[in-house]
Chain A
Amino acid sequence: MLRIDRLAKRFGGYQALAGVDLAVEPGSVHAVIGPNGAGKTTLFNVITGILAPTAGAVSLEGRDITGWRADRVTRAGIARTFQQVRLFRGMSALENVMVGRHARTRGGFGAALIRPPFRERGEEAETRRRARELLERVGLAARAGTSGGDLTLVEQRRLEVARALASDPRLLLLDEPAGGMTPVEVEDLNQLIRKICETGVTVLLVEHHMRLVMRVSDAVTVLDAGRVIASGSPDTVRRDPRVIAAYLGRDA
Protein backbone atom coordinates (compact mmCIF):
# COMPACT_ATOMS: atom_id res chain seq x y z
CA MET A 1 0.00 0.00 0.00
CA LEU A 2 2.37 2.68 1.29
CA ARG A 3 6.11 2.09 1.17
CA ILE A 4 8.64 4.40 2.72
CA ASP A 5 12.32 3.80 2.02
CA ARG A 6 15.19 5.38 3.94
CA LEU A 7 13.23 8.60 4.31
CA ALA A 8 15.24 11.48 5.76
CA LYS A 9 14.33 15.05 6.61
CA ARG A 10 16.81 17.57 7.95
CA PHE A 11 15.93 21.04 9.25
CA GLY A 12 19.22 22.92 9.27
CA GLY A 13 21.33 21.02 11.78
CA TYR A 14 18.42 19.02 13.15
CA GLN A 15 17.80 15.55 11.74
CA ALA A 16 14.04 15.04 12.21
CA LEU A 17 13.92 11.81 10.19
CA ALA A 18 17.07 9.70 9.84
CA GLY A 19 16.30 7.00 7.31
CA VAL A 20 12.83 5.72 8.13
CA ASP A 21 11.57 2.50 6.51
CA LEU A 22 7.90 1.69 6.76
CA ALA A 23 5.49 -0.57 4.92
CA VAL A 24 1.75 -0.26 5.44
CA GLU A 25 -0.31 -3.31 4.48
CA PRO A 26 -3.48 -2.67 2.45
CA GLY A 27 -6.64 -2.82 4.55
CA SER A 28 -4.81 -2.51 7.86
CA VAL A 29 -4.73 0.01 10.68
CA HIS A 30 -1.12 0.93 11.25
CA ALA A 31 -0.02 3.10 14.17
CA VAL A 32 3.14 5.14 14.47
CA ILE A 33 4.09 5.86 18.05
CA GLY A 34 7.07 7.37 19.79
CA PRO A 35 8.02 10.03 22.31
CA ASN A 36 7.61 13.73 21.56
CA GLY A 37 10.09 14.91 18.97
CA ALA A 38 10.47 11.42 17.50
CA GLY A 39 9.53 12.73 14.05
CA LYS A 40 5.98 11.39 13.74
CA THR A 41 4.34 14.57 12.50
CA THR A 42 7.32 15.32 10.25
CA LEU A 43 6.83 11.86 8.75
CA PHE A 44 3.18 12.69 8.01
CA ASN A 45 4.11 16.07 6.55
CA VAL A 46 6.66 14.48 4.21
CA ILE A 47 4.25 11.73 3.11
CA THR A 48 1.50 14.26 2.32
CA GLY A 49 3.77 16.66 0.45
CA ILE A 50 3.63 19.52 2.93
CA LEU A 51 7.38 19.10 3.43
CA ALA A 52 9.89 17.85 0.84
CA PRO A 53 12.15 15.05 2.04
CA THR A 54 15.93 15.50 2.16
CA ALA A 55 16.45 11.91 0.97
CA GLY A 56 14.52 8.68 0.51
CA ALA A 57 11.36 7.65 -1.29
CA VAL A 58 7.62 7.41 -0.71
CA SER A 59 5.43 5.26 -2.91
CA LEU A 60 1.71 4.61 -2.89
CA GLU A 61 0.53 1.35 -4.44
CA GLY A 62 3.76 1.08 -6.40
CA ARG A 63 3.65 4.66 -7.65
CA ASP A 64 6.50 6.95 -6.64
CA ILE A 65 5.03 10.08 -5.03
CA THR A 66 8.21 11.40 -3.42
CA GLY A 67 8.26 15.19 -3.27
CA TRP A 68 4.85 15.61 -4.89
CA ARG A 69 2.90 18.75 -4.06
CA ALA A 70 0.23 18.26 -1.38
CA ASP A 71 -2.75 18.63 -3.74
CA ARG A 72 -1.32 15.98 -6.09
CA VAL A 73 -0.74 13.60 -3.19
CA THR A 74 -4.39 14.03 -2.22
CA ARG A 75 -5.51 13.30 -5.75
CA ALA A 76 -3.27 10.21 -5.75
CA GLY A 77 -5.35 8.87 -2.83
CA ILE A 78 -3.92 10.01 0.51
CA ALA A 79 -5.98 12.20 2.85
CA ARG A 80 -5.09 13.42 6.31
CA THR A 81 -6.18 15.16 9.47
CA PHE A 82 -4.03 17.53 11.48
CA GLN A 83 -2.76 17.32 15.04
CA GLN A 84 -3.50 21.02 15.52
CA VAL A 85 -6.97 21.01 13.97
CA ARG A 86 -6.97 22.97 10.71
CA LEU A 87 -10.61 23.39 9.81
CA PHE A 88 -11.97 26.22 7.71
CA ARG A 89 -13.33 27.90 10.80
CA GLY A 90 -15.55 30.45 9.10
CA MET A 91 -17.27 27.83 6.94
CA SER A 92 -20.05 25.53 8.09
CA ALA A 93 -19.36 21.89 8.92
CA LEU A 94 -21.12 20.90 5.70
CA GLU A 95 -19.05 23.32 3.61
CA ASN A 96 -15.87 22.00 5.19
CA VAL A 97 -16.69 18.51 3.99
CA MET A 98 -17.71 19.87 0.59
CA VAL A 99 -14.26 21.45 0.23
CA GLY A 100 -12.94 17.97 0.96
CA ARG A 101 -14.60 16.82 -2.29
CA HIS A 102 -12.42 19.27 -4.23
CA ALA A 103 -9.93 16.62 -5.32
CA ARG A 104 -12.66 14.46 -6.85
CA THR A 105 -14.73 17.15 -8.58
CA ARG A 106 -14.21 19.57 -11.43
CA GLY A 107 -15.26 23.06 -12.35
CA GLY A 108 -13.61 26.45 -11.96
CA PHE A 109 -14.69 30.04 -12.49
CA GLY A 110 -16.31 29.34 -15.84
CA ALA A 111 -18.32 26.37 -14.59
CA ALA A 112 -19.54 28.46 -11.65
CA LEU A 113 -20.92 31.07 -14.05
CA ILE A 114 -22.75 28.74 -16.39
CA ARG A 115 -24.27 26.39 -13.81
CA PRO A 116 -28.06 26.56 -13.74
CA PRO A 117 -29.36 29.12 -11.25
CA PHE A 118 -31.57 28.46 -8.20
CA ARG A 119 -31.15 24.70 -8.14
CA GLU A 120 -28.11 22.53 -7.73
CA ARG A 121 -27.67 19.79 -10.25
CA GLY A 122 -25.22 17.13 -11.26
CA GLU A 123 -21.91 17.23 -9.53
CA GLU A 124 -22.77 20.04 -7.11
CA ALA A 125 -25.85 18.23 -5.80
CA GLU A 126 -23.81 15.04 -5.57
CA THR A 127 -21.09 16.86 -3.59
CA ARG A 128 -23.68 18.09 -1.09
CA ARG A 129 -25.27 14.65 -0.80
CA ARG A 130 -21.92 12.97 -0.17
CA ALA A 131 -20.95 15.62 2.38
CA ARG A 132 -24.18 15.07 4.33
CA GLU A 133 -23.61 11.33 4.24
CA LEU A 134 -20.11 11.73 5.67
CA LEU A 135 -21.33 14.07 8.41
CA GLU A 136 -23.84 11.42 9.34
CA ARG A 137 -21.11 8.81 9.43
CA VAL A 138 -19.04 10.74 11.95
CA GLY A 139 -22.11 11.68 13.99
CA LEU A 140 -22.25 15.36 13.06
CA ALA A 141 -25.41 15.41 10.94
CA ALA A 142 -27.11 17.71 13.45
CA ARG A 143 -24.21 20.18 13.29
CA ALA A 144 -24.13 20.59 9.50
CA GLY A 145 -24.87 24.32 9.63
CA THR A 146 -22.52 25.18 12.50
CA SER A 147 -19.28 27.03 11.75
CA GLY A 148 -16.18 24.89 12.02
CA GLY A 149 -14.81 27.26 14.66
CA ASP A 150 -17.91 26.94 16.84
CA LEU A 151 -17.71 23.15 17.20
CA THR A 152 -16.18 21.52 20.29
CA LEU A 153 -12.66 20.17 19.89
CA VAL A 154 -13.93 16.59 19.72
CA GLU A 155 -16.47 17.54 17.05
CA GLN A 156 -13.73 19.38 15.16
CA ARG A 157 -11.58 16.26 15.13
CA ARG A 158 -14.51 14.22 13.81
CA LEU A 159 -15.22 16.85 11.19
CA GLU A 160 -11.60 16.66 10.03
CA VAL A 161 -12.04 12.93 9.56
CA ALA A 162 -15.20 13.48 7.50
CA ARG A 163 -13.47 16.18 5.43
CA ALA A 164 -10.52 13.87 4.77
CA LEU A 165 -12.80 10.96 3.80
CA ALA A 166 -14.57 13.23 1.30
CA SER A 167 -11.61 12.95 -1.06
CA ASP A 168 -12.21 9.18 -1.38
CA PRO A 169 -8.76 8.29 -0.05
CA ARG A 170 -7.29 4.80 -0.23
CA LEU A 171 -4.99 5.74 2.66
CA LEU A 172 -6.16 7.91 5.56
CA LEU A 173 -3.57 9.56 7.81
CA LEU A 174 -4.81 10.52 11.28
CA ASP A 175 -2.50 12.74 13.32
CA GLU A 176 -3.34 12.24 17.01
CA PRO A 177 -7.08 11.85 16.50
CA ALA A 178 -7.71 11.09 20.20
CA GLY A 179 -6.12 14.30 21.49
CA GLY A 180 -8.29 15.88 24.18
CA MET A 181 -10.88 13.07 24.21
CA THR A 182 -12.53 11.41 27.21
CA PRO A 183 -12.39 7.58 27.49
CA VAL A 184 -15.95 7.29 26.11
CA GLU A 185 -15.06 9.48 23.13
CA VAL A 186 -11.91 7.44 22.53
CA GLU A 187 -14.04 4.32 22.40
CA ASP A 188 -16.29 5.97 19.77
CA LEU A 189 -13.16 6.88 17.81
CA ASN A 190 -11.96 3.28 18.01
CA GLN A 191 -15.27 2.14 16.48
CA LEU A 192 -15.09 4.85 13.82
CA ILE A 193 -11.56 3.88 12.78
CA ARG A 194 -12.54 0.21 12.54
CA LYS A 195 -15.58 1.12 10.47
CA ILE A 196 -13.47 3.24 8.12
CA CYS A 197 -11.05 0.35 7.75
CA GLU A 198 -13.93 -2.02 6.93
CA THR A 199 -14.89 0.17 3.96
CA GLY A 200 -11.51 -0.64 2.42
CA VAL A 201 -9.59 2.46 3.49
CA THR A 202 -6.16 1.77 4.93
CA VAL A 203 -5.46 3.84 8.05
CA LEU A 204 -2.11 5.15 9.27
CA LEU A 205 -2.28 6.97 12.58
CA VAL A 206 0.02 8.81 14.91
CA GLU A 207 -1.25 8.51 18.46
CA HIS A 208 -0.13 8.92 22.05
CA HIS A 209 -3.17 7.22 23.51
CA MET A 210 -1.73 3.75 24.16
CA ARG A 211 -4.99 1.98 24.96
CA LEU A 212 -6.41 3.11 21.63
CA VAL A 213 -3.25 2.14 19.73
CA MET A 214 -3.14 -1.33 21.26
CA ARG A 215 -6.83 -1.96 20.58
CA VAL A 216 -7.27 -0.52 17.11
CA SER A 217 -3.98 -1.30 15.35
CA ASP A 218 -3.01 -4.30 13.28
CA ALA A 219 0.61 -3.14 13.23
CA VAL A 220 2.66 -0.65 15.21
CA THR A 221 5.88 1.12 14.28
CA VAL A 222 7.88 2.88 16.98
CA LEU A 223 9.93 5.94 16.13
CA ASP A 224 12.58 7.44 18.37
CA ALA A 225 14.80 10.36 17.40
CA GLY A 226 13.92 10.00 13.72
CA ARG A 227 14.60 6.25 13.52
CA VAL A 228 12.42 3.15 13.58
CA ILE A 229 13.31 1.21 16.72
CA ALA A 230 10.64 -1.47 16.49
CA SER A 231 7.88 -2.63 14.18
CA GLY A 232 5.34 -5.42 14.35
CA SER A 233 2.07 -6.45 15.96
CA PRO A 234 0.92 -4.46 19.02
CA ASP A 235 1.84 -7.35 21.29
CA THR A 236 5.38 -7.82 19.99
CA VAL A 237 6.05 -4.11 20.12
CA ARG A 238 4.67 -3.86 23.64
CA ARG A 239 7.17 -6.46 24.86
CA ASP A 240 10.17 -5.12 22.95
CA PRO A 241 12.70 -4.03 25.59
CA ARG A 242 13.97 -1.16 23.44
CA VAL A 243 10.48 0.25 23.13
CA ILE A 244 9.91 -0.07 26.85
CA ALA A 245 13.15 1.75 27.47
CA ALA A 246 12.52 4.51 24.97
CA TYR A 247 8.87 5.13 25.42
CA LEU A 248 6.48 3.05 27.40
CA GLY A 249 8.34 3.15 30.70
CA ARG A 250 8.16 0.65 33.56
CA ASP A 251 4.37 0.66 33.88
CA ALA A 252 3.91 -1.03 30.54
Chain B
Amino acid sequence: MLDSYGESVLIFLGINMVLALSLYLPMSAGQLSLGHGGFMAIGAYVTVICTTWLGWPLVAGLAGGGLAAALAGAVVGFPALRIKGIYLIILTMGFGEIVRIFFLNFEPTGGASGLGGIKHLTTLPLVMGAAALMLLCLMRFRGARIGRALRAVQEDEVAAEAMGVNLTRVKVAAFALGALGAGIGGGLYAHQALFIEPAQFGFFRSAEIFLIVVLGGVGTYWGPVAGAAVVTLLPELLRFVQDWRMTVFGSLLVLCAVLRPAGLLSGRRPAA
Protein backbone atom coordinates (compact mmCIF):
# COMPACT_ATOMS: atom_id res chain seq x y z
CA MET B 1 0.00 0.00 0.00
CA LEU B 2 2.76 2.42 1.00
CA ASP B 3 5.83 2.61 -1.18
CA SER B 4 9.18 2.91 0.55
CA TYR B 5 9.36 6.64 -0.18
CA GLY B 6 6.01 7.25 1.47
CA GLU B 7 6.96 5.07 4.40
CA SER B 8 10.22 6.88 4.99
CA VAL B 9 8.46 10.26 4.87
CA LEU B 10 5.98 9.05 7.48
CA ILE B 11 8.78 7.68 9.65
CA PHE B 12 10.50 11.06 9.61
CA LEU B 13 7.13 12.63 10.42
CA GLY B 14 6.89 10.36 13.45
CA ILE B 15 10.45 11.19 14.53
CA ASN B 16 9.74 14.91 14.22
CA MET B 17 6.58 14.42 16.29
CA VAL B 18 8.60 12.66 19.00
CA LEU B 19 11.19 15.46 19.02
CA ALA B 20 8.61 18.25 19.02
CA LEU B 21 6.48 16.63 21.74
CA SER B 22 9.58 16.23 23.89
CA LEU B 23 10.44 19.92 23.51
CA TYR B 24 6.82 20.83 24.22
CA LEU B 25 7.08 19.66 27.84
CA PRO B 26 9.76 22.13 29.02
CA MET B 27 8.26 24.81 26.79
CA SER B 28 4.89 24.37 28.44
CA ALA B 29 6.66 25.31 31.69
CA GLY B 30 8.06 28.42 30.04
CA GLN B 31 11.53 27.02 29.31
CA LEU B 32 12.58 27.85 25.76
CA SER B 33 15.35 25.63 24.44
CA LEU B 34 17.43 25.81 21.28
CA GLY B 35 19.64 22.93 22.35
CA HIS B 36 17.35 20.01 21.71
CA GLY B 37 19.64 18.79 18.92
CA GLY B 38 22.27 18.19 21.60
CA PHE B 39 20.01 15.85 23.58
CA MET B 40 19.04 14.17 20.33
CA ALA B 41 22.74 13.62 19.53
CA ILE B 42 23.41 12.05 22.93
CA GLY B 43 20.40 9.78 22.46
CA ALA B 44 21.45 8.84 18.92
CA TYR B 45 25.05 7.98 19.76
CA VAL B 46 24.27 6.13 22.99
CA THR B 47 21.47 4.15 21.35
CA VAL B 48 23.76 3.12 18.48
CA ILE B 49 26.47 2.10 20.96
CA CYS B 50 23.93 -0.04 22.82
CA THR B 51 22.47 -1.71 19.71
CA THR B 52 25.48 -2.01 17.41
CA TRP B 53 28.35 -2.54 19.85
CA LEU B 54 26.58 -4.22 22.73
CA GLY B 55 23.98 -6.01 20.64
CA TRP B 56 21.01 -4.84 22.67
CA PRO B 57 17.54 -4.86 21.09
CA LEU B 58 16.42 -1.46 19.80
CA VAL B 59 13.91 -0.75 22.59
CA ALA B 60 16.58 -1.35 25.26
CA GLY B 61 18.99 0.82 23.29
CA LEU B 62 16.40 3.60 23.09
CA ALA B 63 15.92 3.39 26.84
CA GLY B 64 19.68 3.73 27.32
CA GLY B 65 19.93 6.65 24.90
CA GLY B 66 16.92 8.35 26.45
CA LEU B 67 18.28 7.98 29.98
CA ALA B 68 21.70 9.33 28.97
CA ALA B 69 20.02 12.36 27.41
CA ALA B 70 17.78 12.81 30.48
CA LEU B 71 20.86 12.81 32.70
CA ALA B 72 22.42 15.52 30.55
CA GLY B 73 19.07 17.36 30.70
CA ALA B 74 19.10 17.34 34.50
CA VAL B 75 22.67 18.64 34.52
CA VAL B 76 21.79 21.49 32.12
CA GLY B 77 18.48 22.05 33.91
CA PHE B 78 20.10 23.30 37.11
CA PRO B 79 22.03 26.27 35.71
CA ALA B 80 18.99 26.94 33.51
CA LEU B 81 16.83 27.47 36.61
CA ARG B 82 17.60 31.09 37.29
CA ILE B 83 17.41 32.35 33.74
CA LYS B 84 14.57 32.75 31.32
CA GLY B 85 13.65 33.76 27.80
CA ILE B 86 16.43 34.87 25.51
CA TYR B 87 19.16 34.07 28.05
CA LEU B 88 17.95 30.51 28.42
CA ILE B 89 17.92 30.21 24.64
CA ILE B 90 21.58 31.27 24.52
CA LEU B 91 22.51 28.83 27.30
CA THR B 92 20.81 25.92 25.56
CA MET B 93 22.38 26.91 22.22
CA GLY B 94 25.76 26.78 23.92
CA PHE B 95 24.94 23.33 25.28
CA GLY B 96 23.97 22.09 21.81
CA GLU B 97 27.27 23.32 20.41
CA ILE B 98 29.25 21.69 23.23
CA VAL B 99 27.63 18.34 22.44
CA ARG B 100 28.20 18.70 18.70
CA ILE B 101 31.86 19.62 19.16
CA PHE B 102 32.33 16.81 21.67
CA PHE B 103 31.19 14.19 19.16
CA LEU B 104 33.18 15.95 16.43
CA ASN B 105 36.36 15.25 18.39
CA PHE B 106 35.38 11.98 20.03
CA GLU B 107 37.18 9.40 17.88
CA PRO B 108 35.63 6.18 19.33
CA THR B 109 32.31 7.14 17.66
CA GLY B 110 33.94 8.22 14.43
CA GLY B 111 34.49 11.90 15.15
CA ALA B 112 33.88 14.14 12.16
CA SER B 113 33.66 11.23 9.73
CA GLY B 114 30.54 9.95 11.47
CA LEU B 115 29.30 6.55 12.51
CA GLY B 116 27.95 4.10 9.96
CA GLY B 117 26.95 0.46 9.83
CA ILE B 118 23.77 1.10 11.81
CA LYS B 119 21.07 -1.51 11.30
CA HIS B 120 17.72 -0.38 9.94
CA LEU B 121 15.56 -1.14 12.97
CA THR B 122 13.21 1.84 13.07
CA THR B 123 9.76 0.97 11.76
CA LEU B 124 6.68 3.05 11.11
CA PRO B 125 4.61 1.39 13.87
CA LEU B 126 7.48 1.93 16.31
CA VAL B 127 7.85 5.69 15.70
CA MET B 128 4.11 6.28 15.59
CA GLY B 129 3.76 4.23 18.77
CA ALA B 130 6.45 6.32 20.46
CA ALA B 131 4.79 9.56 19.36
CA ALA B 132 1.37 8.32 20.51
CA LEU B 133 2.81 7.26 23.86
CA MET B 134 4.35 10.69 24.40
CA LEU B 135 1.12 12.40 23.40
CA LEU B 136 -0.72 10.19 25.87
CA CYS B 137 1.74 11.15 28.64
CA LEU B 138 1.23 14.85 27.93
CA MET B 139 -2.55 14.35 28.01
CA ARG B 140 -2.28 12.61 31.36
CA PHE B 141 -0.11 15.39 32.79
CA ARG B 142 -2.48 18.10 31.59
CA GLY B 143 -5.40 17.58 33.97
CA ALA B 144 -3.31 16.49 36.94
CA ARG B 145 -1.61 18.31 39.79
CA ILE B 146 1.75 18.34 38.02
CA GLY B 147 0.23 19.65 34.79
CA ARG B 148 -1.41 22.53 36.63
CA ALA B 149 1.90 23.27 38.34
CA LEU B 150 3.69 23.40 34.96
CA ARG B 151 1.15 25.83 33.56
CA ALA B 152 1.31 27.91 36.73
CA VAL B 153 5.11 28.10 36.43
CA GLN B 154 4.76 29.21 32.82
CA GLU B 155 2.23 31.89 33.72
CA ASP B 156 3.91 33.34 36.80
CA GLU B 157 6.85 31.78 38.62
CA VAL B 158 6.56 33.99 41.71
CA ALA B 159 2.89 33.18 42.19
CA ALA B 160 3.49 29.48 41.48
CA GLU B 161 6.19 29.34 44.14
CA ALA B 162 3.89 31.15 46.56
CA MET B 163 1.38 28.31 46.01
CA GLY B 164 3.98 25.84 47.22
CA VAL B 165 5.33 24.73 43.86
CA ASN B 166 8.99 23.73 44.20
CA LEU B 167 10.35 25.54 41.13
CA THR B 168 13.65 23.69 41.15
CA ARG B 169 12.07 20.27 41.16
CA VAL B 170 9.37 21.03 38.60
CA LYS B 171 11.61 22.85 36.14
CA VAL B 172 14.53 20.44 36.28
CA ALA B 173 12.15 17.48 35.95
CA ALA B 174 10.41 19.04 32.95
CA PHE B 175 13.74 19.77 31.31
CA ALA B 176 15.09 16.27 31.98
CA LEU B 177 11.90 14.59 30.73
CA GLY B 178 12.07 16.72 27.59
CA ALA B 179 15.66 15.57 27.09
CA LEU B 180 14.56 11.96 27.62
CA GLY B 181 12.11 12.28 24.74
CA ALA B 182 14.71 13.96 22.54
CA GLY B 183 17.15 11.13 23.28
CA ILE B 184 14.57 8.55 22.21
CA GLY B 185 13.90 10.61 19.08
CA GLY B 186 17.64 10.65 18.37
CA GLY B 187 17.87 6.87 18.71
CA LEU B 188 14.93 6.37 16.36
CA TYR B 189 16.50 8.80 13.91
CA ALA B 190 19.86 6.97 13.95
CA HIS B 191 18.23 3.64 13.14
CA GLN B 192 16.38 5.20 10.22
CA ALA B 193 19.18 7.39 8.80
CA LEU B 194 21.68 4.49 9.25
CA PHE B 195 24.56 6.95 9.37
CA ILE B 196 25.05 9.66 11.97
CA GLU B 197 27.53 12.50 12.19
CA PRO B 198 27.73 15.50 14.54
CA ALA B 199 26.61 17.96 11.83
CA GLN B 200 23.14 16.35 11.77
CA PHE B 201 22.52 17.45 15.36
CA GLY B 202 23.78 21.02 15.21
CA PHE B 203 22.05 24.32 15.60
CA PHE B 204 19.85 23.84 12.54
CA ARG B 205 18.34 20.68 13.98
CA SER B 206 17.62 22.43 17.28
CA ALA B 207 16.10 25.36 15.41
CA GLU B 208 13.94 23.02 13.33
CA ILE B 209 12.50 21.32 16.42
CA PHE B 210 11.91 24.71 18.02
CA LEU B 211 10.22 25.90 14.83
CA ILE B 212 7.89 22.89 14.79
CA VAL B 213 6.69 23.59 18.33
CA VAL B 214 6.29 27.34 17.88
CA LEU B 215 4.60 26.88 14.50
CA GLY B 216 2.14 24.36 15.91
CA GLY B 217 1.47 26.44 19.01
CA VAL B 218 2.44 25.89 22.64
CA GLY B 219 -1.12 26.24 23.95
CA THR B 220 -2.01 22.59 23.35
CA TYR B 221 -0.13 19.31 22.95
CA TRP B 222 -1.73 18.91 19.51
CA GLY B 223 0.37 21.90 18.43
CA PRO B 224 3.64 19.96 18.05
CA VAL B 225 1.77 17.24 16.12
CA ALA B 226 0.35 19.76 13.65
CA GLY B 227 3.68 21.57 13.43
CA ALA B 228 5.54 18.33 12.69
CA ALA B 229 3.03 17.47 9.98
CA VAL B 230 3.48 20.85 8.28
CA VAL B 231 7.27 20.95 8.53
CA THR B 232 7.73 17.33 7.39
CA LEU B 233 5.04 16.96 4.75
CA LEU B 234 4.90 20.43 3.21
CA PRO B 235 8.41 20.29 1.63
CA GLU B 236 7.50 16.88 0.17
CA LEU B 237 4.25 18.21 -1.28
CA LEU B 238 6.13 21.19 -2.69
CA ARG B 239 8.48 19.06 -4.76
CA PHE B 240 6.63 20.08 -7.93
CA VAL B 241 8.01 23.63 -7.69
CA GLN B 242 11.50 22.06 -7.81
CA ASP B 243 14.29 24.57 -7.14
CA TRP B 244 11.87 27.01 -5.54
CA ARG B 245 10.75 24.45 -2.98
CA MET B 246 12.47 25.81 0.12
CA THR B 247 11.72 29.41 -0.90
CA VAL B 248 8.01 28.64 -1.13
CA PHE B 249 8.21 26.66 2.12
CA GLY B 250 9.89 29.56 3.92
CA SER B 251 7.32 32.00 2.56
CA LEU B 252 4.50 29.81 3.81
CA LEU B 253 6.10 29.74 7.28
CA VAL B 254 6.29 33.54 7.29
CA LEU B 255 2.64 33.62 6.25
CA CYS B 256 1.78 31.33 9.19
CA ALA B 257 3.64 33.64 11.56
CA VAL B 258 1.62 36.61 10.29
CA LEU B 259 -1.77 34.92 10.25
CA ARG B 260 -1.43 32.68 13.33
CA PRO B 261 1.10 34.40 15.60
CA ALA B 262 0.35 32.10 18.53
CA GLY B 263 0.75 28.95 16.42
CA LEU B 264 -1.50 26.97 14.12
CA LEU B 265 -3.45 25.36 16.95
CA SER B 266 -3.84 27.99 19.57
CA GLY B 267 -7.13 29.38 20.73
CA ARG B 268 -5.44 32.03 22.77
CA ARG B 269 -3.98 35.20 21.26
CA PRO B 270 -0.56 36.19 22.52
CA ALA B 271 -0.62 39.12 24.90
CA ALA B 272 -0.60 42.37 22.93
Give the interface of A toward B (CB within 8 A): 48, 50, 69-71, 74-75, 79-80, 82, 86-91, 95, 98-109, 111-113, 115, 123-124, 127, 163, 166-167
Contacts and interface: CB of A to CB of B under 8 A. Distances in A.
B144 A107 contact: yes
Contacts of B156: 86-88
Interface string B165-177: 1110000010001
A112 B158 contact: no
Contacts of A69: 161
Interface stretch (B75-83, B114-122, B146-154, B242-250): B146-154
Contact of A111 (B137, B144, B148, B161): B144
Nearest to A45: B158
B164 interface: yes
A112 B141 contact: yes
Contact of B149 (A50, A99, A104, A115): A99
Given A91-B148, A99-B149, 14 more contacts: A50-B162, A70-B162, A74-B163, A82-B162, A90-B155, A91-B155, A100-B163, A107-B144, A107-B145, A108-B145, A112-B144, A112-B145, A112-B146, A115-B140
Contacts of B177: 109
A98 B141 CA distance: 15
Chain B interface, DSSP helix/strand/loop, else mixed: helix
B104 interface: no
Given A71-B165, A95-B148, A86 B173 contact: no
B239 interface: no
A107 B156 CA distance: 21
B160 interface: yes
B163 A115 contact: no
Nearest to B145: A107
For chain B, which range describes its interface: under 10, 10 to 19, 20 to 34, or 35 or more residues?
A: 20 to 34
B237 interface: no
A124 B145 contact: yes
B84 interface: no
Contacts of A74: 161-164
Kindly list the 8 A-B residue pairs having the minimum CB-CB distance in the complex, ordered from nearest: A103-B164, A112-B144, A86-B159, A74-B164, A88-B155, A70-B161, A102-B164, A99-B152
5 contacts: A71-B164, A82-B159, A95-B148, A100-B163, A103-B163
Nearest to A147: B268
Contacts of A98: 148
A109 B70 CA distance: 15
Nearest to A76: B164
Given A88-B151, A102-B149, A108-B173, A71 B161 contact: yes
Given A50-B158, A91-B151, A112-B146, A102 B140 contact: no
Contacts of B173: 108-109
Most chain B beta-carbon neighbours within 10 Å: one of A48, A88, A101, A163: A88
Contacts of B149: 99, 102
A104 B137 CA distance: 24
Nearest to B162: A70
Nearest to A106: B145
B148 A109 contact: no
Given A98-B148, A111-B146, A112-B146, A90 B163 contact: no
A91 B162 contact: no
A250 B159 CA distance: 39
Q: B156, B163, B177: which has the most chain A beta carbons within 10 Å?
A: B163
Contacts of A105: 145
Contacts of B268: 90
Given A88-B152, A88-B156, A112-B145, A99 B163 contact: yes
B262 to A, nearest CB: 11
Contact of A102 (B137, B141, B155, B163): B163
Contacts of A70: 158, 161-162
Contacts of A115: 140, 144
